[in-house]
A and B are shown apart, each in its own frame.
Chain A
Amino acid sequence: MDRELAAAMARAAGLDKALAEFPDDVMGAAAQALDNAGAVQYPTDPAAEPWPPMRPGVGL
């Protein structure tokens, strides 16, 4: 991810202090997030619903 974009996203998330004190950690996290989200094969069926249907009392 572009460093300027990552820094802007970090500031938008309120991470100004982390960005100042641990810039490498913040930049690494941005790249990691992109990798993680990019690795998911999202459903192509628009009707596919998410888990979890939290239903206390009946289980999964």
Chain B
Amino acid sequence: MTDLHWMTASDAAKAFAAKTLSPVEMMTALLQRVEALDPKLNAFIRLDGDAAMDAARSAEREIAAGRVRGPLHGVPVGIKDIIDVAGLPTTAHSKILLDNVAKADAVVVGKLRQAGAIVMGKLSTHEFAIGGPSFDLPFPPARNPWNPDHHPGGSSSGSGAGVAAGLFPMALGTDTGGSVRNPASVCGIVGLKPTYGLVSRRGVMPLSFTLDHVGPMTRTVADNALMLDVIAGHDSGDPGSSATQERNFGRTIGRGVRGMRIGFVRHFHETDVPAHPEVTAALEDAARLFQAEGAEVETVRLPTLAEFAGINRVILCSEAWSIHGPWLRTRPGDYGQLARRRLLPGAFMNAGDYVGAQRRRAELIAAVEDALRDYDVLLCASSMDPASRIDDAAETARTYPRQARAPFNVTGHPALAMMSGLSSNGLPVSLQLVGRYFDDATVLRVAAAYEHIAGWHKRKPPIG
């Protein structure tokens, strides 16, 4: 049998339903692994082990009695600590919210529980999903399971590290400028930023209202689709939520890419922000694999990364200031230095800057929409470099903005990051796939085809 800690959510759910495996067995194995590895990884801010084991016993009894709650019954999940779980603190990894106990589950957590998933605990993040990796916070930063001396990406750091290390098969992350896809990229897993409006953000600490997304983080594409099936759906309590009835996001997985048209955004990593040679080589390999599988791959141009990044920063800082202004005025010393420095610029932007950025945003959206009229999906870089050393603040500061994720927070299109190789020093490199609005299923289909032919998901970090 596969080691239980490497079992996918899909396989675990099937095994539970078939009564060939108990949720208690799996939870026991995972809690033992957390005990052994998390002191090195710091994926958890708060492990809720007793409650998770109680829930596993309940799931075992219910399944034995023939009462299957849903497609994730008995499957463990980790939750980024800016997302509310009833009865547990939502600290956002910050001193500011140390005593902030959630009264109710976020909508996404409620949906996971309705589907039968078991919450294992709250996961490390960059402070308020923006300030990290930081060593001046109440909790240590998460570390990369491929090499704990390296950064696991952020801001959904614990989600990426924990999924990659086999501490849980799936996790929730959030993504405002790439924070699901960054840890997915450098931890070698699958992270999807769904279409804006597809997944509710109610009960999630906001960073930037028009850029924030909640997304699934998993080790396989099929698990990602399964998790998205559960968490997607309209929420009248989220002003950005759409009323799409879209379901079964994995319905076209397995159909391959023959006949599909893929636009390859080469200028992102060739000229806008020149990538590490191993990232570039892996992207070219991916393009060749898609062609070999029958897809048509053509070079396509979008506005530059600098354009997208500028818009992302003005909007993010302006909206974040409207949230953090009261605390920055009264408790500036309770923020870590990185979060404070990244949030304060919003105080110096004016209404004209913000509205101007939103007006230019509409033009950038139109440019991406034009490209997606000709192509089923876009292929591009995610991170331009493998993970930096976590103790090298200068290198982290240099590499952190070298990415191509923020464009799709600006536009709201679905975007998925996944592993595309290993660097010469044994760290994951990645690619990104981008689709049309509410066509997350096609993004997952293309990702699944790549996963099948490239097989990187079979590689595991040399830990534990």
Contact = CB atoms under 8 A, between A and B. Distances in A.
Interface string B133-152: 00000000000000000000
A2 interface: no
Interface in A5-60: 6, 9-10, 13-15, 17-18, 21-22, 25-26, 28-30, 32-34, 36-37, 39-43, 48-52, 54, 56-60
B22 to A, nearest CB: 41
A6 B348 contact: yes
B239 interface: yes
Contacts of B365: 51, 60
Contacts of A57: 234, 242-243
B314 interface: yes
B332 A39 contact: no
A36 B361 contact: no
Contacts of A37: 314, 349, 353, 357
Contact of A56 (B236, B346, B353): B236
B353 A9 contact: no
B360 interface: yes
Contacts of A56: 234, 236, 238-243
Interface stretch (B59-67, B96-104, B336-344): B336-344
Given A40-B353, A41-B360, A42-B360, A18 B239 contact: no
B356 interface: yes
B358 to A, nearest CB: 3
Interface centre among B196, B242, B328, B437 (most CB of A within 10 A): B328
Given A15-B328, A17-B329, A54-B240, A36 B317 contact: yes
A15 B357 contact: no
Contacts of A39: 306, 309-310, 313
B375 interface: no
Contacts of B240: 52, 54, 56
Contact of B197 (A6, A9, A25, A60): A60
B412 interface: yes
Given A51-B365, A58-B242, A36 B344 contact: no
B346 A51 contact: no
A22 B335 CA distance: 11
Contact of A41 (B244, B307, B412): B307
A42 B356 contact: yes
Interface string B220-256: 0000000000000010101111111000000000000
Contacts of B317: 33, 36
A28 B347 CA distance: 12
B359 interface: yes
Given A29-B345, A49-B359, A49-B362, A40 B332 contact: no
B410 to A, nearest CB: 9
Contact of A52 (B210, B310, B314, B333): B210
A52 B197 CA distance: 12
Given A40-B353, A52-B358, 18 more contacts: A10-B347, A13-B347, A14-B325, A15-B328, A22-B340, A25-B341, A26-B344, A28-B344, A33-B349, A39-B313, A42-B357, A43-B359, A48-B362, A50-B355, A51-B358, A56-B234, A56-B242, A59-B243
26 contacts: A6-B348, A13-B347, A13-B348, A15-B344, A17-B330, A18-B328, A25-B332, A26-B344, A28-B341, A29-B348, A30-B345, A36-B349, A43-B356, A43-B359, A43-B360, A48-B359, A48-B360, A48-B362, A50-B359, A51-B210, A52-B358, A56-B236, A56-B243, A57-B243, A59-B244, A60-B196
Closest 3 CB pairs of A and B: A29-B344, A50-B358, A33-B348
Interface of B: 195-197, 210, 234, 236, 238-244, 306-307, 309-311, 313-314, 317, 325, 328-330, 332-333, 337, 340-341, 344-349, 353, 355-363, 365, 412, 437-438
